[in-house]
């Protein structure tokens, strides 16, 4: 249905009457925009003070329009503690508490085009009551209830406590959620509730299951959600969140078992409820929110969707492909929130960065005709589809990690290679490794890498900018006021030359061989079979390079080691990797793709901004 905003634009009341615009135009005065805060009751008492928590929704909307306004929402815990965007912008307020600075460019660009921008402080953060529960029901309800309020189904107030009821009569009820990292994660979580009125989401480098952020198939990354909760609550005084934080600490058990706390934060498991379209962006070298998150979410979605995959780490596309991203967002929101028939949903589904700043459109993700191909390690260090036999052993050394495994593994890891490829080989999708391993002690970790062995120039995703360099010059995206400018520093690709590229990783605790919900004791000398996933990707291993599988124990770059590291022996006849391939490796044969729906998630690093 065409909203009131588009009707105004098409009527000629504000826009020139000569021709109907193809989409929203910047015809509203940003300086005259309404700026206000509404506190929305989320129906929970997370801080135990006997009152239902209210979350602060800071709103900026066109002053010329009183009805039919679509909403772009970013719900975040970072508006006062950590900042948003490459320049770590924080919200600011005037002496009366009215919002002045809205971080990021969304308000500057979209409010003049007839949109409202709503930035929600998650419960327990900035000016909201309650406590953060790190992706749990309170976090999700902080945003979902604001969607409800924008559609007349929840109650908003003029103050954090007391005050008078406020309605959103100006809203069309059409909401699009956007955000990077934690913010995009909340968009995923709200979409998984199927809430009415949420028309689209734009998750950028977002989590789809919090188990996979803190754990990986039984292995642990060494940090827990209660630490993140304390960080985002730090600047919101007056609330006692100790009980909630203790619950987070207790629920995130020291082992890597998948339990009730994680199940309550597993959005991928509820992706069938998603009704909103999805525009997804992720860096294939994101070592913070690892790429298994976008892969499992994408595979589970049944709605209209598009995806951008960059070579960066944890970076917003505004900072590596700015003009194209803003244009795409504009057309995407116009289509799904205003009903503009601009065809943005058509055409190639994926856009993938093949080399720094060199992008290729792809009809689908995973690539059309990519087939799960079983590759087997051979006793001579080969990797192919032929049956294998024999055994091979490594000695777990938690003090070394992936780069050492590739360059000088010693006895800590085993390397198997296809040898030099005679044609390009594309890895597109989510791989999985099956090992049959005999531990020498009562505890064991198993980790695996897929590696492109060959020289390349890539984005320096391990650098301080995770693949970008930030300059001093700026360009501007929308209108500015004295307190909220639309100008941002221009970035460029940070590149480096490498002799190998790790394109996918995975980690597991062998004690979870039978169940991710309950680890089992290991008996030294007994063989155990376990399958675990490697992170999703889309990567072309070029002709002249080799594709390698490396298997070791504790990847010290990421996971914690076992209580008793020891020698682990692989049965090569029952060890393999299933890789979604487009192209045929030497002597390859293929089989139907493995059903990954039964596998429960992988991955994470501590800084989630």
Question: What is the three-class DSSP state of 451?
Answer: strand
Let me know if 286 is a catalytic residue: yes
Question: What is the three-class DSSP state of 264?
Answer: coil
Burial 20-38 (b: 16+ CB within 10 A, else e): eeebbeebbebeebbbebb
**Nearest CA-CA partner of 107 in 47, 58, 51, 173:** 58
Q: How many CB atoms lie within 10 A of CB 243?
A: 12
Q: C-alpha distances in angstroms, 217 versus 182, 340, 440, 444, 531?
A: 22, 44, 20, 13, 9
Token digits of residue 173? 């009820």
**456 in Cβ contact with 497 (< 8 Å):** yes
**193 in Cβ contact with 144 (< 8 Å):** yes
Q: Which of these is catalytic: 171, 172, 181, 504?
A: 181
Q: How many CB atoms lie within 10 A of CB 157?
A: 17
**Nearest CA-CA partner of 91 in 54, 49, 66, 128:** 128
Cα separation, 549 vs 316, whole angstroms? 30
Let me know if 314 is a catalytic residue: yes
Q: Which of these is catalytic: 286, 316, 334, 509?
A: 286
Question: What is the three-class DSSP state of 30?
Answer: helix
Q: Which of these is catalytic: 314, 335, 539, 545?
A: 314
Question: What is the three-class DSSP state of 9?
Answer: helix
**Nearest CA-CA partner of 262 in 300, 215, 210, 221:** 210
Give the contacts of 362 (CB within 8 A, at least 6 positions apart). Answer: 348, 349, 350, 351, 352, 538
DSSP state for residue 336 in the 8-state scheme: I
Q: C-alpha distances in angstroms, 439 versus 247, 420, 557?
A: 34, 33, 21
CA atoms within 13 A on the CB side of 420: 3
**Nearest CA-CA partner of 244 in 367, 86, 137:** 137
Cα separation, 398 vs 550, whole angstroms? 16
CA atoms within 13 A on the CB side of 69: 29
Give the contacts of 191 (CB within 8 A, at least 6 positions apart). Answer: 177, 198, 201, 267, 273, 274, 275, 276, 278
DSSP state for residue 581 in the 8-state scheme: E
Cα angle 436, 550, 284; round to 5:
115
Q: Which residues are catalytic?
A: 181, 286, 314
């Amino acid at each position: 249905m065409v909203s009131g905003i588009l009707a105004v634009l098409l009527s000629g009341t504000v826009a020139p009457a000569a021709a109907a615009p193809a989409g929203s135009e910047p015809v509203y005065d940003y300086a005259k925009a309404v700026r206000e805060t509404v506190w929305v009751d989320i129906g929970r008492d997370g801080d135990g003070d006997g009152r239902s928590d209210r979350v602060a929704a800071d709103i900026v909307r066109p002053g010329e329009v009183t009805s039919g306004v679509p909403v772009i929402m970013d719900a975040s815990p970072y508006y006062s503690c950590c900042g948003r965007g490459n320049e770590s912008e924080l919200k600011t307020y005037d002496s009366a508490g009215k919002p002045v600075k809205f971080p990021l460019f969304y308000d500057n660009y979209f409010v003049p085009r007839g949109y409202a921008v709503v930035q929600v402080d998650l419960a327990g953060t900035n000016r909201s009551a309650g406590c953060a529960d790190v992706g749990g029901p309170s976090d999700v309800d902080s945003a979902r209830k604001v969607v409800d309020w924008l559609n007349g189904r929840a109650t908003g107030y003029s103050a954090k406590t007391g005050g008078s009821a406020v309605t959103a009569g100006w809203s069309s009820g059409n909401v699009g959620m956007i955000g990077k990292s934690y913010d995009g994660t909340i968009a995923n979580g709200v979409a998984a509730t199927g809430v009415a009125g949420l028309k689209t989401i734009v998750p950028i480098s977002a989590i789809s299951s919090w188990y996979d952020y803190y754990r990986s198939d039984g292995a642990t990354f060494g940090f827990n959600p209660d630490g993140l909760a304390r960080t985002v609550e730090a600047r919101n005084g007056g609330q006692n969140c100790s009980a909630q934080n203790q619950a987070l600490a207790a629920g995130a058990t020291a082992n890597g078992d998948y339990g009730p706390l994680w199940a309550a934060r597993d959005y991928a498991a509820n992706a069938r409820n998603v009704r909103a379209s999805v525009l997804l962006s992720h860096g294939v070298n994101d070592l913070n929110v690892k790429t298994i998150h976008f892969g499992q979410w994408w595979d589970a979605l049944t709605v209209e969707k598009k995806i951008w995959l960059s070579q960066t780490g944890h970076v917003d596309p505004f900072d590596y492909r700015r003009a194209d991203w803003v244009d795409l967002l504009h057309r995407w929101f116009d289509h799904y929130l205003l009903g503009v028939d601009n065809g943005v949903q058509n055409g190639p589904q994926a856009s993938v960065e093949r080399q720094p700043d060199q992008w290729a459109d792809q009809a689908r993700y995973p690539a059309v005709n990519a087939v799960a191909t079983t590759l087997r390690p051979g006793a001579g260090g080969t990797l192919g589809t032929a049956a294998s036999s024999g055994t091979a052993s490594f000695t777990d050394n938690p003090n070394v990690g992936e780069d050492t495994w590739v360059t000088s593994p010693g006895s800590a890891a085993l390397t198997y290679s296809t040898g030099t490829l005679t044609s390009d080989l594309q890895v597109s999708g989510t791989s999985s490794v099956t090992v049959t391993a005999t531990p020498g002690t009562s505890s064991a970790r198993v980790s695996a890498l897929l590696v492109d062995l060959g020289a390349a120039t890539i984005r320096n995703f391990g650098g301080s900018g995770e693949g970008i360099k930030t300059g001093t010059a700026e360009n501007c995206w929308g209108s500015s006021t004295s307190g909220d400018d639309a100008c941002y520093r221009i970035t460029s690709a940070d590149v480096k030359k490498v002799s190998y590229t790790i394109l996918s990783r995975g980690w597991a605790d062998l004690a979870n061989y039978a169940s991710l919900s309950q680890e089992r004791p290991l008996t030294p000398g007994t063989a155990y079979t376990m399958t675990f996933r490697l992170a999703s990707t889309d990567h072309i291993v070029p002709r002249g390079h080799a594709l390698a599988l490396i298997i070791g124990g504790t990847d010290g770059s990421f996971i914690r080691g076992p209580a008793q590291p020891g020698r682990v022996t692989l049965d090569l006849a029952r060890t393999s990797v299933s890789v979604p391939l487009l192209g045929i490796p030497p002597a390859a044969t293929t089989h139907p793709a493995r059903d990954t729906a039964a596998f429960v998630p992988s991955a994470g690093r501590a800084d989630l901004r």
